Amino acid sequence: MTQIESAIQDIFDQPLGNGEQRRIVFWMDKEQVFSEEVGRLSLQNVIVHTLTDRNQFQTKYMLEEADPSSCYLIYTDQELSVEDNWLADTVLYSKTFYADRVSLVLNNLQIDPVLRGTVKKYEKFFENKDRYRKFQAFDMENYTEQTIELAMMSALCNIKLPDFEAVLRTVLMDTLVDENNKYMEAMTKFFDVEVFWQHVEGQYGYERETKTLKTLFLHLAVTAFSHAADTAHLISVESFVAKNNRANCLVFIDHWMHHRSDSPVFDDYAEMAEQEIGLSSILQSIPIDQFKQAEVFPYIDRAILIYITNGLMENFEDYEEYTKLIKLRRSKHFYHQYASLYEALYYAVKMHEFRKETSRGIQQGSAIEVYRAYEEEYYKMDTYYRKFYVAFDEESNHELLKKLRESVEHLYTGWFIGELGARWTQAVSSEMTSDWSLPGVQAQQNFYSSVVSPHIRNGERAFVIISDAMRYEVGVELAKRLNTETMGTCSIDSMLSVVPSVTKLGMAALLPHRGLDMDEQGNVLVNGVSSAGIDNRKKIIEGTVSHSIAVKHPDITAMNKAGRRDMLKGKKLVYIYHDAIDAVGDNASTEQSTFQAADQAVNQLYELVKMLRDDVSGTNIYITSDHGFLYQRDALPESDKIEKASVETIEVKRRYMLSKESAEIPGQLAIDLSSVMKNEQQLTAYLPNGIIRNRIQGAGANFVHGGASLQEVVVPLLSFKNIRAGQKGARSIVKVDIKLTSTMRRITNSIFTLDFFQTEKVGDKTNARTVIVYMADEAGSVLSNEETIIGDRTFENPADRTFKLRFVLKSISYDRDKTYYLIMKDRETGVETERIAFSINLGIVSDFDF
C-alpha cells in the first residue's frame, strides 16, 4: 500500500497540462483486491471517492457540478469503457491507475501502457526487488519491446548499461556448458531464452537448429578469422561462418580479446576452438600472407613461428621478410604468450642475416683493422647470441627453440668466434706480442691520466663506475639506453684492456697510478703497494686525490637520498665498483646465467647513473670495465683445450699463464708485459690462440676471461654528461608522433583501410610510442575493431615509417548526419593523442573492402 500510495501521489504531483484545472484519477480494481485498504490512503490535496454501480450519476454530479475544482481519486471495480457509462467522457480526459504488479511497473517506470503485454509476459522478472532495481537504474527514456528485453537481459547479467555485446560476452564468460551457465539458467527462469537466441541470430548471423554456447563461440571465432582468409580455404568449417553480419562477429571477438580483465577466458576458449576445428590442418593450405594479420587463435602465432624456423633451417634467406613478420606480430593479441619464442627467433634471424652479409667471411687485416671492425660491426654477433639465449632460457624446453639453438651454435661457435679469433690472433701474433698497444686506441692503463685527471685538475667532480666483466657489446646497449631515456648525452668509445684480461690487473690499471707491476706471486702492485680489495684501492685513490672515495654498488644503492648526499658531499673523485656479470659468470654453478646477469647489469647501471645525476648532481660520469669475457653455451669439445706447456709458471688459468721464461709455445701467444706495466719480474703472458682454453680440472670452462680475444680485451668506455633543462644543448625526451595520412574522412564501406605515418625515426631522445586506434561515436562507444601501431621504427626513409591498418565497423545503423571519430590513444598513458572527425554513410552495408 505504501508503494501504491506513493505511485498515486506521484501522479497527482505531476504538473498540470495545458487547460487542466485539476487532476482526476480512476483507480481500476476489478478484483476488489484493495477495497478494504483504500480508505486508509493518505494523499495530500486529494479527495478519495469510491464509485459503485449505484452512485454513478451522483459521482458525475459531484465532479461536474458540486465540486468542479478539487482533485479526486475515484476507486472502482466497475467497467468504465462501456458506452452507457455516465462517466465515459470524464474517464477520457482523466488518468487511469491500475494497482496490479504490471500496472505498478508501467506507472513507476513510465512505460507506455501499449507495452503492457510485454511487461506482463515478463512479470516474473519484476517480482524480485533486486532485478527491478537494476532495470530501473538504466533510467531509459524511450521504451520499446526490444529495449525492455535488452534491459532485462542486461540486468540479469549485472551489466551497468543495456548492451547486448556485453550481455553475450558475460554469458559466454561464465561457461560454454549450457546446463551449467548461470546466466542462461536465469534467462530461462525469469526471461525468455529464445529471445536471447533471436538477438544472437539477428546481430551475429548465428543460425542453427540446435543452438549451444559452444557452437556459438566457434561461430563467432571462425567468422572473425574468415576476414583474414579466403573462404575457399575454410570449406571444412564453413558451417561456422556467418552469412550475415560477419563484421559484428569480428568486432565482438576483437573487443573481447582486448578487454583487460576478460581476455584470459577468451584465450582459453580460443585454444579449445582451434583444436575443435583443426586449425593446424586448415592453415597448411592458406598462404601465410593471408593470415599473417589475423589474431583470433593462438595457433596462428605458432604457425608463423614454425614458418620462419623452417625457413632458417632450409636456408631460405628471406631475412627481411622474417624480421617484418616478427615485428608485425608484436601488436597482435597472442604475442605475449610467445614473446620469448619470437625474441629468440628474431635474434636467430639476425645472426643468419649477419652471416649472409659477411658472405666472404671475416677478412684478415692489420690488428687495428680487425679491432675497429669488431668495435663497429662484429660486436653485434655477440649481442645477438647473448639476446638469443636470454630468450631461449625462458622457454628452453620448447622443441622449436631446440632446433634453433643448433643453428645458432653452428653460426656462433662453429663459425663466428672461431674465425674472428683466428684473424685477430694472426694480427696480434705479427704486430702486438712485443708491444701490447694499438694506434689511436686508448690503453686501459692510461684511463685515469688521460680521461679522469683533466677533470680533477680543472676543479671538476668526476664519477667512475667500473662494472666487472662488462664487455664492449653490453656497454653499447647501456649507452643507447642512456642516450634514449635520459636528458644527458652518452658517448661510447673503447679501450684496449691490459693482458692478462683479469680483474686484479684490469682494476689496478683503472686506478690513478705512477707505476703498475706484479710481484713474484702474481699480486698486482700500484705505486708499489697491493691493489687487491676495495680498501686498498680506496687508499690508492685518496693518495692521489684527498677528497675522494671508493664504494661498492650495493652500499650506495642501499642508502636513501640523504645518506648518499652526505657520503659524497665534498668528494671530487668517486669510484663505484659494480659486480653483476663476473659474480655470476665466474661461478661454475651459475655461469649459465651469464647473459641474464648482463641484462641485469644494464638495468642496474642505468639506474645508478640516474641516481648520481638526480641525487648528487653528478655531471661527469664514466662507465667502464676491467675486462670482457668469452661465453658459449655448449660444453667445449676437447679440441678446444690444450695441455699446459712445459714452462715454469707463477700462475695458470684457463685463458693465460704467467711465466718468467720466454719461449715459443705452439698454440699460444707470448705477450711481453713490459708494454703493460713496469715488469720488473720480466714476465711473459702466454695466451691460448683464439678461444682455446688451457686444460684445467673442474667445471666452469664456458665463461672465461684473461686471454686476448676481442670479446675479452675490447672494453667499453662510456662518457655520460648530464645536461639540465635550459642548459645549452639540452634536449627533452619526447615520443614520436603517429599521424593519420589518409585524406578520406567519409566511410562508405564497413571494412576500410587507413594509412598512418611515424613522423620521425626513433633515436637519441626520441622514443618509441605505441598507440591504440579505433572508431567511436560521440558518446565514446567503440564501433570497430582496435588496431595497435608500435611506432619504434629507426629508418631514415619516411616511406619505411608508414603503416596501413584495416578496420571493420559494427553492422548497425549509422546516421550520415552525425559525426563519428577515429580515436588514437597512447597505450602507455591512456592519453588521447588524436580525435579525427569522420562521417559514415554505408548505404547497403557491405562485408567487402574496396
CA distance 655 to 706: 5
Cell numbers at 224, concatenated:
572473425
pLDDT at 112: 87
Q: Which residues contact 810 (CB under 8 A, 6 or more apart)?
A: 247, 248, 251, 783, 784
Helix (H) or strand (E) holding 188: helix 182-190
CA distance 424 to 371: 8
- Identify the three-state secondary structure at position 60: helix
CA distance 90 to 60: 8
pLDDT band (50, 70, 90) for residue 408: very high
pLDDT at 729: 61
Indicate if the pLDDT at residue 846 is higher than 50: no
Q: Which residues contact 155 (CB under 8 A, 6 or more apart)?
A: 131, 134, 135, 138
pLDDT band (50, 70, 90) for residue 562: very high
Please give the average per-residue pLDDT across 166-193, as a whole number. 97
pLDDT at 329: 96
CA distance 453 to 457: 6
The pTM assigned to this predicted structure is: 0.87
pLDDT at 850: 32
CA distance 828 to 319: 30
CA distance 565 to 558: 13
Mean pLDDT of the chain, nearest integer: 93
Indicate if the pLDDT at residue 546 is higher than 80: yes
pLDDT at 552: 97
CA distance 387 to 610: 25
pLDDT at 849: 41
602 or 726, which is more confident? 602
Indicate if the pLDDT at residue 703 is higher than 80: yes
Indicate if the pLDDT at residue 847 is higher than 80: no
DSSP string, 210-225: S--HHHHHHHHHHHHH
Q: Which of 80-94, 248-262, 653-667 has the lowest mean pLDDT?
A: 80-94
Indicate if the pLDDT at residue 845 is higher than 50: no
Phi, psi of 841 (to 5 degrees): -135, 90
CA distance 635 to 92: 99
CA distance 151 to 109: 12
DSSP string, 736-792: PPEEE-----EE-SSEEEEEEEESS--BTTEE-EEEEEEEE-TT--B-B--EEEEE-
pLDDT band (50, 70, 90) for residue 789: very high
DSSP code for 809? B
Cell numbers at 449, concatenated:
691520466
pLDDT at 82: 67
Please give the average per-residue pLDDT across 221-249, as a whole number. 93
